[in-house]
Amino acid sequence: MVVFDYTCIKPFVTVYNRLNMEDKLCPECGKVIIGRADKKFCSNDCRSAFNNIKNRNTNNMMRQVNSTLKRNRDILLSFNPNGKANIAKAKLQTAGFNFNYHTNSYTTKVGKTYYFCYEQGYLELENEYYSLVVKQEYIG
């Protein structure tokens, strides 16, 4: 019994099939896509470039939010090297702290709300003062 090896004609079958199909074009560069039937881009570079452009606005917004959160954390850390401190609101604002951005909050049983930028937190006190704290493991 003779077994035929189809691997030798595979390139010809591929060329024949490509002649019968309509060419798909890369949405990024416009080149003809060669390869799997479900392939959408001609190369990884084109795929990356296409997705970077598509997600540019979302990525920029996330970058700005993350930058603000990091800045807030760094400001809290600079004013709170020992883990507990009190500071005036004006001093935080002068340093560039943005009170609209925090990563999470924790409300105690007494009703006090701590706001955190990662592990660095603050609690609003009276007379526009804030108590700076570092998040403990047992706090949610």
pLDDT at 60: 87
DSSP label of 49:
H
pLDDT at 20: 47
pLDDT at 136: 79
pLDDT at 56: 82
Write the DSSP assignment of 6-40 as a string of letters: GGGTHHHHHHHHHHHSPPPB-TTT-PBP-S-TT--
Return the SS3 of 55. coil
d(CA 46, CA 30): 10
Would you write out the chain's pLDDT as a tens digit for each of its 140 residues?
555 555 555 555 555 555 445 789 999 999 999 999 899 999 999 999 999 888 887 888 899 999 999 999 999 999 999 989 999 999 999 999 999 999 999 999 999 999 999 999 999 999 999 999 998 775 55
- pTM beyond 0.85: the answer is no
Stretch (H or E) spanning 132: strand 129-134
Beta bridge partners of residue 123, listed in sequence order:
114, 131
Spatial neighbors of 8 by CB under 8 A, at least 6 apart, are none
Residue 130 buriedness (CB in 10 A; 0-12 / 13-18 / 19+): buried
- Residues 26 and 41: beta-carbon distance below 8 Å: yes
The number of C-alpha atoms within 13 Å of 73 and in the hemisphere containing its C-beta is: 16
pLDDT at 1: 57
DSSP label of 139:
-
pLDDT at 53: 87
